[in-house]
Amino acid sequence: MILGRTERGKAPVEPVTLKILVAGGFGVGKTTLVGAVSEIKPLRTEELLTEAGRPVDDTSGVEGKRTTTVAMDFGRITLREDLVLYLFGTPGQDRFWFLWDELATGALGAVVLADTRRLEDCFAAVDYFERRAIPFVVGVNCFEGASRYPAEDVRQALDLDPAVPVVLCDARDRESVKEVLVEVVQHAMAYAGGPRRTLTG
Amino acid sequence: MSGDGQGTPHWFDDEAGPVVRPYAMTRGRTTSPGQHRLDLIALVVAERYAEDPEADNSLSPEHVDIVGLCRDAPQSVAELAAGLDLPIGVVRVLIGDLVEDELVRVTRPVPPAELPDESILRDVISGLRAL
């Protein structure tokens, strides 16, 4: 890190940056949720994955299969000039778990979006955050046409720790998403305040 | 804002893969030495004297773009990657070069496994409510 910066002139404000992850199955509304509150249209970053361990020059004839692109959509909320929250939609496919580790490092917390018609799609995400003791909230995205279930039923179906908040939400609705995010931060605070619980409940 | 002036229609599709192999821009490097792995939300700040990076012949156009994007306001690594339409891994290496050249510096986000101050979290909550 470089410390010899001159202080003269207009130094741009350097905000504190925080991130919240948005996980869940494919098509559950992660990018919609990010877009509902982001001040920018959700941006897409890509990470190229090369088959690790292969010699670098071994490219003959298989170029097309050498790399996979994993996309992550993210949005930004400037809460104050010096406080910026980023929301990252996690890659949907299970085989990219190792990318989650990087995303999850330093994350404030996470939202696991669930669709009651395909609840099993979010099992993997719930499991991931539980194992890494990352505070998370389950947001049940209330799709039109899907039957509504009480939050308690969802909690039971997911076998969640009683401390994990379950909220019904509409990923398209800004107010609704704001509430979900507030819930995540509150849960993170409570989580940090209490003793770190062990996995066996 | 985006520096690419390519208006030519794409006659190839995504299946063709990148026309310029992304890591050609980093001369094959996938990591930059001496540099901790940059978090996606680490902020890149242009140094005040990085006024004219174009004059530096050792820099690639992508390096110059990064400095240009950071000059007005600090940019996160994720935003730079999205803005330049480059993979994150490539952007990390390029940023590493610029740090070495002292054209930019990188602010560390809150260290992992360490939650930010409770007061910051309270600010986040009130900030979200006020949106």
- The reply to whether residue B40 touches residue A102, judged by beta carbons under 8 angstroms, is yes
Q: Range of A122's domain?
A: 16-193
CATH for A51: 3.40.50.300
Amino acid B39 reads D
ipTM of this predicted structure = 0.81
How far is Cα B50 from Cα B55, in angstroms, rounded to an integer?
Answer: 10
How far is Cα A104 from Cα B59, in angstroms, rounded to an integer?
Answer: 33
At B9-49, the pLDDT tens digits run 556 566 655 556 677 778 778 776 655 678 899 999 999 77
> What residues have CB less than 8 Å from B32, skipping those under 6 apart?
B92, B93, B95, B96, B97, B99, B100
User: Into how many domains does chain A fold?
Assistant: 1
Q: Which residue of B has its CA nearest to A43?
A: B82
Question: Does domain B29-129 sit in CATH 1.10.10?
Answer: yes
Taking alpha carbons only, the member of A83, A8, A9, A75 closest to residue A45 is A75
Q: Is residue A142 part of a domain?
A: yes
B125 touches chain A (CB under 8 A): yes
- Using CB atoms within 10 Å of the CB of residue A3, give its burial: 0 to 12 exposed, 13 to 18 middle, 19+ buried: exposed
* Backbone dihedral angles phi then psi of residue B34, each to the nearest 5 degrees: 70, 10
Q: Is residue A201 part of a domain?
A: no
B120 touches chain A (CB under 8 A): yes
At B43-64, the pLDDT tens digits run 999 997 766 777 777 889 999 9
How far is Cα B36 from Cα A1, in angstroms, rounded to an integer?
Answer: 10
Taking alpha carbons only, the member of A135, A75, A68, A12 closest to residue B131 is A75
Chain B partners within 8 Å of A188 (Cβ): 115, 121
Q: Is residue A198 part of a domain?
A: no
At A72-110, the pLDDT tens digits run 899 999 999 999 999 999 886 666 777 788 888 889 999
